[in-house]
Amino acid sequence: MTNPLAARGVVHWVGAGRSSGAGIVTLTEHAAVTLWARRPERAQGLADRLKLDGRVGVRPLGELAETVRPGDVVVSMLPATEHAGLLRLCLDRGAHFANTSYLSDDIAAAAGQLAAAGLVAVVEAGLDPGIDHLMAHRLVADGRRAMGDDAVADFTSYCGGLPAVPNEFRYRFSWAPRGVLRALLSEARFIDGGEVRTVARPWQAITPVTIGGERFEGYPNRDSTTAIRQYALPGGWRLDRFIRGTLRLDGWSAAWAQVFRELTEADDARVDALADELAARYPATAQDQDRVVLHTGLSLRTPDGRSWTGSYHLDVEGDASGSAMARCVSLTLAAAVREILDGQVTPGLHQAASEPDRVARWWRYLAEAGLTIHHTSAQE
């Protein structure tokens, strides 16, 4: 196995959008950090908000390519379509790479090059995907210890960015309104009743979800079945249900009924126009605090009648220091970068953390940063 190229303690954080936050503060304790943005004044505003005067550099994105050196870590908080370009820069310059987005085909194709060069790339290191992966790997390990590898399994993982104070629309647009609507136009694939199901529109599979006595609504997101292998579920577990999805406040589907009707018939231009209209009508203002709820649960039943349930749960509200979403996303990303800086990740491509020791480290980093993950389990 190729030894990792030693990180030299320099982090280039590229992008100063709404998901950049407290994680940058923690990284300044371990590395020299520079914030890069197309509009440096935006990056400076982020640094000011985080009270990082004198602790980070701020530079225009156009100067990044000439600055990256072997052993640096490049963090991409740009739109997903721009990750591949930054990864190519890392390969050219011998730098490590991290982001929060789902693994793309372009980045997957570079796995061999990364490993051969001794470089590390960690993707899906955010909230969802990210913290949900940590919860899932822990639950699978918990379930195997409790019940073994011969069982019927029911796995669900739901995550939502919600308004802390509900409004009549049961939602506020904090960013990317087009992305919110376009996600509702993508088919979803999951397992229910032991069978693989596909729905053309996620809202066709909304289900009630109760977490800590509070009622929500959940719907499947993307292709849930790809995570079965990623989470290393035992081959002897027969899946009755396996869903990774999005969480919304109770009453969301009723409040959005007219939106669903419009989306069913809308062309691209109308979707964009509708996104603008809704974002203007239901914006998240500086006075609106957000809330993040993430819940991952696993139930197992064995042929001899034994049963076990376990869950991990995160519930965070934004405050004057920043949004809940920015805290959760950026702190998890910082955990990934800290591992790279410390030389604790093997060369190649990684989707968040999966190995028990790495999951434990990320868990500890998040706890130290103030993100409390609650755990429940019961066995009969």
DSSP 223: B
DSSP codes, 135-151:
HHHHHHHHHHHHH-S-E
Count of other CB atoms within 10 angstroms of residue 154: 19
Asked if 118 and 3 touch (Cβ cutoff 8 Å), the reply is yes
CA dist., res. 324 & res. 293, Å (int): 10
- Residue 192 annotated in active site: no
DSSP 95: -
**Which residue out of 48, 72, 105, 128 is catalytically annotated?**
128
Evaluate whether 243 touches 220 at the Cβ level (below 8 Å): yes
- Dihedral angle sign, alpha carbons of residues 177, 162, 20, 138: negative
Q: Where are the alpha helices (DSSP H) in the chain?
A: 22-27, 40-49, 83-93, 105-108, 111-116, 131-147, 177-183, 226-230, 252-255, 257-265, 268-281, 324-341, 356-368
Instruction: Name the packing angle between helices 268-281 and 257-265 (round to 10°).
Output: 160
Can you tell me the distance from the alpha carbon of 369 to that of 364, in angstroms, rounded to the nearest whole number? Answer: 9
Catalytic residue numbers?
128
